[in-house]
């Protein structure tokens, strides 16, 4: 029965989960209060704050790191990679601390895991956001200076696909899915025979979401950018943190929006438009798959809303079976990746092996 510690850092929190034989033993979200909010906090100090908090958590719960079979960490912003589980080694740690193009909290996970393990326990990541299995046609944007990038909620989407394949009693490589992550950002991906060959970048493309604007008319965006009324930082925040449902209704919580919609038809229309745009994106993926889709898989936090799921299902159920795997289940998905390596069903790759594009 393997025992695995999962680590998932947020901007000011670190989520931990101890799992034994795939079952949750204990989970905890460590709050780092104001320790990480200062602008001049170094990456090394950030990792040390988290390490000290995790060590305290382990000590309080009588957990000896040497009794753990593996540490499973959230994958950070790495180069474009093949899907799968990767060994955390010195090269990966160096990349995440010194060379990653984006300074993101998830970049702290693997270095933190490596420090905790002290070389005594294997450390892994699984399916980071940079998983890249694109068809070459998927990369063309419309102008050669801008390439479409494969950035997605890979961890949850890949894990949901595995669960659905298992429920169907089939091998993942024999199935074609459209997988929809319904969270703060929305990713709609086409997975053909186990490979995610196309997906919208949730920050820049596709349907609007609870707090992201999705695709916008280019001309209007350019006009706004050069109006002199907004800084670059303000515009990026408007489109990626204050757009979508939030921009129209003042809330990015779908549950709250449904409550508001009882007395405000405009809010009802916004929710309906979000479902409509999601359905359009699903339909496009079904089209480029030639209609050969075994299931549409809905996952993420908003998939808990039966009402919202039914709004999407009403558009797309004629394309394929619609299955629902609600929630993000990130800690469990990380653990399952480590367990596949520990039980020999998957070989953990090293960073250099998995890089598909530089």
Q: For residues 14 and 50, is the Cβ–Cβ distance under 8 A? A: yes
Q: What is the CA radius of gyration of the chain?
A: 21
Q: For residues 130 and 78, is the Cβ–Cβ distance under 8 A? A: yes
pLDDT at 43: 86
Q: How far, in Å, CA of 348 to CA of 258, rounded? A: 44
- Phi and psi of 141, rounded to 5°? -100, -30
Residue 131 per-residue DSSP state: B
CATH code given to domain 3-132+331-354: 3.30.420.40
Q: Domain 154-327 falls in which CATH fold?
A: Nucleotidyltransferase; domain 5 (3.30.420)
Q: How far, in Å, CA of 205 to CA of 281, rounded? A: 10
pLDDT at 304: 97
Mind giving me the DSSP string for 84-118?
Answer: SEEE--HHHHHIIIII-SS--GGGGHHHHHHHHHT
> What are 97's two structure tokens?
């601390």
Give every CB contact of residue 50 below 8 A, 6+ residues apart in sequence. 9, 14, 30, 32, 108, 112
Tell me, yes or no, if the two domains 3-132+331-354 and 154-327 fold the same way. yes
pLDDT at 271: 98
Q: How far, in Å, CA of 204 to CA of 240, rounded? A: 8
Question: What residue ranges do the domains of the chain occupy?
Answer: 3-132+331-354, 154-327
In sequence order, the β-bridge partners of residue 73 are 7, 125
- Residues lower than pLDDT 50 in the chain: none
pLDDT at 171: 97
pLDDT at 42: 84
């Amino acid at each position: 029965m393997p025992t695995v510690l999962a680590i998932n850092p947020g901007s000011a929190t670190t989520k931990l989960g101890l799992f034994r034989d795939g079952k949750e033993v204990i989970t905890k979200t460590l709050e780092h209060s104001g320790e990480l909010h200062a602008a001049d906090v170094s990456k090394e100090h950030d990792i040390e704050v988290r390490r000290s908090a995790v060590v305290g958590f382990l000590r309080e719960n009588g957990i000896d790191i040497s009794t753990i079979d593996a540490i499973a960490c959230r994958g950070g912003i790495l180069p474009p990679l093949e899907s799968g589980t990767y060994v955390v080694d010195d090269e990966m740690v160096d990349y995440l601390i010194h060379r990653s193009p984006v300074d993101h909290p998830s970049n702290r996970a693997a270095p933190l895991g490596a420090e905790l393990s002290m070389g005594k326990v294997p450390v892994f990541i699984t399916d980071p956001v940079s998983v890249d299995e694109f068809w070459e046609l998927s990369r063309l944007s419309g102008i050669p200076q801008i390439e479409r990038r494969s950035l997605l909620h890979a961890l949850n989407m890949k894990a949901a696909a595995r669960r659905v394949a298992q429920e169907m009693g089939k091998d993942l490589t024999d199935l074609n899915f459209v997988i929809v992550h319904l969270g703060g950002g929305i990713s709609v991906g086409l997975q053909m025979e186990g490979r995610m060959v196309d997906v919208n970048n949730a920050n820049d493309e596709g349907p609007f979401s609870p707090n992201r604007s999705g695709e916008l008319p280019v001309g209007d965006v350019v006009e706004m950018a050069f109006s002199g009324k907004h800084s670059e930082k303000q515009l990026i925040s408007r489109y990626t943190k204050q757009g979508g449902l939030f921009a129209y209704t003042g809330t990015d919580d779908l549950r709250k929006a449904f409550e508001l919609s009882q007395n405000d038809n405009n809010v009802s229309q916004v929710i309906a438009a979000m479902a409509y745009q999601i359905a359009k994106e699903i339909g496009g993926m079904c089209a480029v798959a030639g209609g050969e889709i075994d299931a549409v898989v809905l996952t993420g936090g908003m998939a808990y809303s039966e009402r919202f799921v039914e709004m999407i299902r009403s558009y797309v159920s004629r394309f394929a079976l619609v299955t629902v795997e609600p929630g993000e289940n990130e800690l469990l998905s990380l653990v399952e990746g480590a367990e596949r390596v520990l039980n020999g069903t998957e070989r953990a790759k090293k960073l250099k092996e998995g890089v598909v594009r530089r």
